[in-house]
A and B are shown apart, each in its own frame.
Chain A
Amino acid sequence: MTEANNRHSVFVRYRKIIFAVILFVVADSLVIGINFYSTFKANESAVSINLSGRQRMLSQRTTKVLLLLQRSVNTNDEAGVERNLKELDLAVNLFDTTLKGFRDGDTVTGGDGSKVFLTQVDTDISRKIVEDAYVIWNPYLERLRPLLGNNRNFTTAQLEAVVSYAQDNNLEVLRLMNDLTSDLELVANNRARFLRIILILGVFVALGNFSYTVIVSIRDLMKSDEQITKAQEETAEILLTVHEGLFLLDKDGKLGTQFSASLPRMLGRAIQPGVDFIAILREMVPANVFEAATDYIELLLGDRVKESLVTSLNPLTNVPIRVLDRAGAETEHHLSFSFNRVMSGDKISHLLVTVQDVTEQVSLMQRLEQAKKQSKTEVEALLRLLGGDFESLRQFIANVERALSEINRELSATQNDGEQNSHTLANIMRIVHGVKGEAAALGVDVLENYAHECEKEMVAMRESEEGVTGDHMVRISVLLEGFYERYSSLAEIVERFGAALGKTNPDGVRRESARIGKTEQPAVVQQITSLAQRIAKDQDKQVEVFCQLDRLSTLPAHIAQELQSISIQLLRNALTHGIETPAERSALQKPEKGTVQIWCENHGNAQYDFAVRDDGRGIVPKRLRAHLVKSGKMSEEEVAQLRDEEVASLLFHSGFSTATAANRDAGHGIGLDIVLAKVKGINGRLLVRSRPDRYTEFRIEFNIAARGQDEAVDR
């Protein structure tokens, strides 16, 4: 079907040229045919004219021979008689057969003695001449007959009769033969003229045909050129306008001669026709993606697999690349490449490659992801509300708001000198760490994770060689804005659902909880227990937490809160640094499941103890010394000069951590310094007791009376 269509298409496209060629062949064949025919006729005419001319000569020769014969007879010249009779016979015979040939058409003896075919005369004039000639010739021949055939027995009377007849008719015969010759010449001339006309016509037809062919061909060529030019212009326009990068890729991995104008911009480099695309790809994508991409391209260029079956294998989707923008700044874009086979007949000739900038889509997906996280936050908050833990959540919200304001004040107070910046950063890290701990205790993952991400960045700032810079401050302000965004969503949802559940404050304004009441203590314990299990699971450890926190309900709210925050921090430390893995504990012949105890005791007279104790590794000065040297914080000599107590006190310095790797629970060197700051904040005293591989106990002694009687009463 396709082949038939192709043939039809070729015929339609070239029909004018085909017509011109047929016309040429027909016209030229006609001219050649006419030419042949005319030449043949001219040949016939030449024979006729020649022989009619000979008839004139023979008529005169016959008369002459008759006269010579009469003289030879009269002079008794025997030899003359003999010779003249012979010649007479020849002349008469030739004249007679030739005349007969003119009348009927016949083979006669030609001028050179050979046999030629004499065509019957075919004009009225010639036929009349021949008839008239016979009127004279027949009686002439009768009178000549006694003299023919070398017959010498003729009488003188017979001779005189024929001589007399010859003399009487000689001129008439000569005239008739002349006329015949003239008529034959006329016919020949007419034929020649006809031939010339035909030839001229033929030449004109040939010229016309040639001109037609040339004009048609040129016009078709021009039209074809115009179409090609138009098609090229359209292609160029498309390639200039299209937003996608478009190009053809050959089997050697080379780019075609044409590609869309947007391609160089999208790939962030100058592109030349025929350039090696594979080499470009190698520079653009990681090695593993490059390898997968070349395999995929090779698969598409082969004809063993169907294109549709391997589309999902394309590794070049959402490929991040760095390109220079118009301002010369390096920006990250995401590109997707799609490949389609281009067939020539049933063979694959090229791959059509389409490159799309999907940066916006990727950005949208990220925003969608952000929105999902947002929803998750809201759901988390909702679940807390439905779980009856509303006051804790509200308290947390208030704490976060206060913490963020504090961070902002720290930021606004900086003057960007190196030391002060480091101090500001340390303060901010402490605040963020506190928020992280509270978020973890409440299970508000979104804030815990964000705080963790912030911490990671701030640790990198703290440890950067150039120190904490103004640029870092800008970054922290952006991180703070992110914190505010997450906080606002959470606060809004808490207020909205709180109102829906009838848990709004009587005055309708969000405010801090006055105190942690008795009914809330289980919630605190539950938070601590739940956080402990989560951390233990993350670190492949087992733990049981024992809490005795009834006394918290008797404390002023701000002290109870600080203790709660301290307990969370010490719990994280205990689980990360203290409690060993089950295997380590078994090796030390300890139960696989570790224990953490948290309690609060009143010793009368407003004197309280708050303690967190674990049965883990303990604080081992030897190990701490080794860690200090290994981490490069101190030389062996410096460490050797420190007493064990001094080494242990380093645990409370910002930036110190014994964890081998940072995770969201420990390792950033923030934690115990917060504990110390909070203990100072409640005018407390921190005591640390420990035995290697046995236990670590942090005990906080404080007196609530020291903060003023009125406050204690109020609480």
Chain B
Amino acid sequence: MSSIDEKDIHSFVDAVSVYFHQITGEKAEIKAAYLVEGGVSATTFDLTGYISFSGSFSGRVYFSASRAMVSHLLLMMKESNHAEEQLLDAVGEVANTIAGNARKHFGSAMEISVPVTAVTPDNWLDTVVSPRSYVIMVKWKRYKASVVVDIRHE
């Protein structure tokens, strides 16, 4: 991992924070920030959405959250259907918001994929992210979620 700074990281995290604020009126706040290194692992939750980058930077940005958190989010959106498909759609929507913000931040030098979502087992992120990826833990209400930034300059 190299060559991205906190402005780049904030462009992803702020997207999450603003998304929650717009939908629920309550921001998701940063609780911790660290690296996947030295035995410290990324935190994987039940549902993960990610977008892939190519161009001047390449890699992925992940948003991982618990079912409880996403269900609560759907509740706030007055969505009564909390089937797994709906939950994954909601996670994909957050990932899509991250992509939108990244387009604004990085401009046309970056190509950004459509969001991919998955139900993720424990420690799944540790198996896919590069060493020294950034993990930003955010908290909304009583729930925690992780934004993992695994991007490097080409």
Contact = CB atoms under 8 A, between A and B. Distances in A.
Interface string A471-484: 10111111011001
A405 B37 contact: yes
Contact of A473 (B1, B5, B32): B32
Contacts, number: 82
A474 B6 contact: yes
B31 A408 contact: no
B35 A477 contact: yes
B38 A415 contact: no
A481 B134 contact: yes
Contacts of A470: 29-33
Contact of B38 (A408, A473, A476, A477): A408
A562 interface: no
Given A481-B1, A485-B2, A412 B34 contact: yes
A411 B105 contact: no
Interface in B131-154: 132, 134-136, 139
A401 B132 CA distance: 13
A326 interface: yes
B39 interface: yes
Contacts of B31: 414-416, 470
Nearest to A414: B32
Contacts of B91: none
B95 interface: no
Contacts of A405: 37-40
Interface centre among A405, A411, A412, A469 (most CB of B within 10 A): A412
Contacts of A411: 32-35
A408 B104 contact: no
Given A416-B32, A471-B30, A484 B132 contact: yes
A481 B104 contact: no
A330 to B, nearest CB: 11
B9 interface: yes
B124 to A, nearest CB: 18
Main secondary structure on B side of the interface with A: mixed
- Interface size range of chain B in the complex: 20 to 34
Chain A contact residues (Cβ within 8 angstroms of B): what range? 20 to 34
Interface in A381-433: 401, 404-405, 408-409, 411-416
Interface in B10-42: 10, 13, 29-35, 37-40
A481 B33 contact: no
Contact of B32 (A329, A412, A478): A412
A18 B31 CA distance: 87
A416 B6 contact: no
Q: Main SS of chain A's interface residues?
A: helix
Interface string B32-72: 11110111100000000000000000000000000000000
A325 B29 CA distance: 26
Contacts of A481: 1-2, 35, 132, 134
A416 B139 contact: yes
A207 to B, nearest CB: 65
Residue picked from B9, B32, B134, B139, most chain A C-beta under 10 Å:
B32
Contact of B9 (A325, A326, A416, A474): A474
A469 B31 CA distance: 9
Contacts of B1: 481
A477 B40 contact: no
Contacts of B33: 411, 470, 473-474, 476-477
A409 to B, nearest CB: 6
A478 B34 CA distance: 8
A327 B18 CA distance: 15
A414 B1 CA distance: 22
A490 to B, nearest CB: 15
A411 B134 CA distance: 11
Nearest to B108: A326
Given A327-B104, A412-B135, 13 more contacts: A326-B107, A327-B105, A405-B39, A405-B40, A408-B34, A408-B37, A412-B32, A415-B32, A470-B29, A473-B33, A474-B9, A476-B33, A480-B34
In order of increasing CB-CB distance, the 4 nearest A-B pairs are A470-B30, A405-B38, A411-B34, A327-B104
Interface of B: 1-2, 5-6, 9-10, 13, 29-35, 37-40, 104-105, 107, 132, 134-136, 139
16 contacts: A404-B37, A405-B37, A405-B40, A408-B40, A409-B38, A411-B35, A416-B32, A416-B139, A470-B31, A473-B32, A474-B10, A476-B33, A477-B9, A477-B136, A478-B5, A478-B9
Interface of A: 325-327, 329, 401, 404-405, 408-409, 411-416, 469-471, 473-478, 480-481, 484-485
